[in-house]
Chains A and B, each alone.
Chain A
Amino acid sequence: MTGRTPWLLLAPSTVLLALLFGWPLAQGVLAAFQDGSGFTLAHWQRLFTDPYFGQALRNTVLLIVIVVPIQLVLAVGMTLLIQAKPRFAGVHFYLWAIPLAISDLAAGLVWLTVFADRGYLNSLLITLGLSEHGIAWLSYDSPGTMLFAVVVAEVWRATSMVFVIVVAGVQMLPPDYDEAAQVFGATAWQRLWHVTLPLLRPSLQVALILRTILALQAFAVAQALTGRDFPLLVGETYQWHVTLQNPSVASAVALVVLALSLGTAVLYLRALRQPAGGGAR
């Protein structure tokens, strides 16, 4: 049964992936470096002189640096809670998984009800007497609160994914190590820090890489909450392509995203590399 059969089975998917990933990738690189007459850096120049680009780059990096660690800690905490077998664990698990199926556009709109000028948060603040007229969370001249709103929405939407990866990882761990540590009198904190987390490293690595790459692609959250007032890199691609009708500069932004994605993946793999590389399962 071996020989050619597996490759016959793999061929259709390989062909499609090559056509829909390899070819556009090459085209994208060409588009970013070419104009009608040949090689050019004009698109990059135009991009780098665009004030939105610097902001978008800074916002995207800030978002990742803030959101991903929060999500990791939260997800590990949620996993420990579920592992403690609370009452109604099934219901809690279901609720904690729901954001997995919510898009970043929808998440942005959901949190718009909270952060809008006449939204629930300001209503709460006024009712509690903490503020007189509420705070303009999404105003273009207060990047700090805009960042806060986007961070909250991203944490809300995408922690579930880290949570599910970590839970799956914990369930695959052999219970022996934890029991042994318990027998030898380790505290819950010591067991988490010295036993569970090190064993979880492959899962955490996957979660970190996936989350960072996906967070790089977030844009509709910010779009829904703030319009273009809080630009993110992928949102800039959308702007250049759809609104400004300039596919070349759009390709250039996309390449920046690609470079950042690959860069972070390599960085994480280096930093978290294990002696016996886990690799693809």
Chain B
Amino acid sequence: MTRPPVDLAPLRRRRQRRILVQLACIAVSTFLLLPIVLIGLSALSSRTALTEFPKPLLPSEFDTESVLGFIGGTGVVPAFGNSVLVGVYTVLLALLLGAPAGYALSRFDFRGRDAYQVLILLVRALPIVVLSVPLATMFLRVGVDDTVFAVTLVHTALALPTTILITASIFVGVPRDVEEAALVFGCTPLQAMRRVVLPMALPGLAASSVFTFVLSWNEVLGAAVLTLGHRTLPAQVLASLADSPNAYRFAGGFVLVLPALLFIFLMRRYLLNMWGTTLR
């Protein structure tokens, strides 16, 4: 019995296509990862290895002196503390103000809802420069200029629209029935919130907090305009950029980039919700 000839061309084409896809993925990943590796290598090179030219891919001598020099630089450690403080306060304030609004958007159908959403979108479109300059003058007049509080306020305003949209989508994910069941069994609305809705929304809220923290951690311009003595880390790096050697710059860049790896790892399951659907 002879078998009919099998046409293997489509299978072969399919396999070729899979290999091409695989290669393209590796190419994109390399483009995105390689620069991070390079700044890591630069930051961990010794001073002498840094001046080598042409540079080998791997530095001839590893040393932590650049990174330690950066960390020991004037104002860096306090700036790091300020950055963390501003980030944490911004997360808390944005949740405190934004979550109720997100809840309202997810649960109620009310007049003015559209107007409110337009307001949020408008605020998202406003560049932060427009606010920073007048706010710097205003904060100076009120006497809260150059403080963690002032930066927190600006970062909160910046983060609020996204926080509201994200929390709204998180609360939409908590079924209404469960909340109503809690009410039927005798919870007050506040109790139902605390004991039923919040625990269910917690993972999403945590991810949204990381998002807000990243926003605040990375914000440069507002922080640089609003502070002088109490800078955040990016503002400190920006201000000392012009008169520092490359070793300082590379170490600073490395220290600024490192947390990103962690942030994205923490948020990876929520990324699509966060930057994707909710941004409409």
Per-residue contact bits, chain A 116-135, to B (CB 8 Å; 1 contact, 0 not): 10111011101100000010
Contact, CB under 8 Å: B134 / A24: yes
- For A119, the chain B residues whose CB sits under 8 A away are 55
Report the bound CA distance from A100 to B128 in whole Å.
Answer: 18
Per-residue contact bits, chain B 9-53, to A (CB 8 Å; 1 contact, 0 not): 000000000100110110011011101101100100000000101
From A9-17, A34-42, A173-181, the one touching the partner chain is: A9-17
- For B279, the chain A residues whose CB sits under 8 A away are 165, 206, 210
- For A116, the chain B residues whose CB sits under 8 A away are 246
Contact of B21 among A81, A104, A241, A254 (CB under 8 A): A81
Q: Is B137 an interface residue (CB 8 A)?
A: yes
Contact, CB under 8 Å: B110 / A168: no
- For B160, the chain A residues whose CB sits under 8 A away are 13, 16-17
From A44-52, A191-199, A217-225, the one touching the partner chain is: A217-225
Q: Is A54 an interface residue (CB 8 A)?
A: no
Interface size bucket, A side?
35 or more
Secondary structure class of chain A's binding surface, majority of residues: helix
Q: Is B84 an interface residue (CB 8 A)?
A: no
Closest to A88 in B: B25
Report the bound CA distance from A103 to B268 in whole Å.
Answer: 18
Closest to B110 in A: A6
Closest to A17 in B: B123
The number of residues on chain B lying at the interface, defined by a beta carbon within 8 Å of a beta carbon of chain A, is: 102
Contact, CB under 8 Å: B33 / A109: no
Contact, CB under 8 Å: B242 / A227: yes
If A114-B38, A167-B272 touch, whether A109 touches B220 (CB-CB below 8 Å) is no
Q: Is B275 an interface residue (CB 8 A)?
A: yes
Q: Is B198 an interface residue (CB 8 A)?
A: no
- For A134, the chain B residues whose CB sits under 8 A away are 54
- For A242, the chain B residues whose CB sits under 8 A away are 224-225, 239
Q: Is A255 an interface residue (CB 8 A)?
A: yes
Q: How distant is B169 from chain A, measured CB to nearest CB, in Å?
A: 8
Contact, CB under 8 Å: A120 / B265: no
Q: Is A110 an interface residue (CB 8 A)?
A: yes
From B74-82, B151-159, B200-208, the one touching the partner chain is: B151-159
Contact, CB under 8 Å: B98 / A13: yes
Contact, CB under 8 Å: B218 / A31: no
Contact, CB under 8 Å: B225 / A241: yes
- For B51, the chain A residues whose CB sits under 8 A away are 118
Contact, CB under 8 Å: B104 / A261: no
Q: How distant is B49 from chain A, measured CB to nearest CB, in Å?
A: 11
If A105-B234, A254-B130 touch, whether A122 touches B153 (CB-CB below 8 Å) is no
Q: Is B5 an interface residue (CB 8 A)?
A: no
- For A7, the chain B residues whose CB sits under 8 A away are 104, 110, 112
Contact, CB under 8 Å: B157 / A17: yes
Report the bound CA distance from A96 to B275 in whole Å.
Answer: 13
Report the bound CA distance from A251 to B18 in whole Å.
Answer: 53
- For B24, the chain A residues whose CB sits under 8 A away are 77, 81
Contact, CB under 8 Å: B25 / A220: no
- For B157, the chain A residues whose CB sits under 8 A away are 16-17, 20-21
Report the bound CA distance from A98 to B265 in whole Å.
Answer: 8
- For A108, the chain B residues whose CB sits under 8 A away are 253
If A241-B136, A280-B280 touch, whether A100 touches B275 (CB-CB below 8 Å) is yes
Q: How distant is A203 from chain B, measured CB to nearest CB, in Å?
A: 8
Contact, CB under 8 Å: B218 / A101: yes
The residues in B between 191 and 243 inclusive whose CB is less than 8 angstroms from any CB of A are 214, 217-221, 224-225, 234, 237-239, 241-242
Closest to A214 in B: B127
Q: Is B277 an interface residue (CB 8 A)?
A: yes
Provide a sorted-by-A list of 25 A–B residue pairs whose CB atoms are within 8 angstroms. Answer: A5-B108, A6-B108, A12-B101, A13-B98, A20-B135, A21-B131, A25-B131, A31-B134, A82-B25, A84-B21, A105-B218, A105-B220, A109-B39, A110-B36, A114-B38, A118-B51, A122-B54, A167-B272, A210-B279, A234-B127, A237-B221, A241-B136, A242-B239, A251-B133, A279-B280
**In the complex, given contacts A100-B271, A206-B280, what are 4 additional A-B residue pairs having Cβ atoms less than 8 angstroms apart?**
A10-B104, A234-B221, A237-B133, A254-B127
Across the A-B interface, the 8 shortest Cβ-Cβ residue pairs: A168-B276, A109-B253, A103-B218, A101-B260, A123-B54, A27-B134, A9-B104, A20-B157
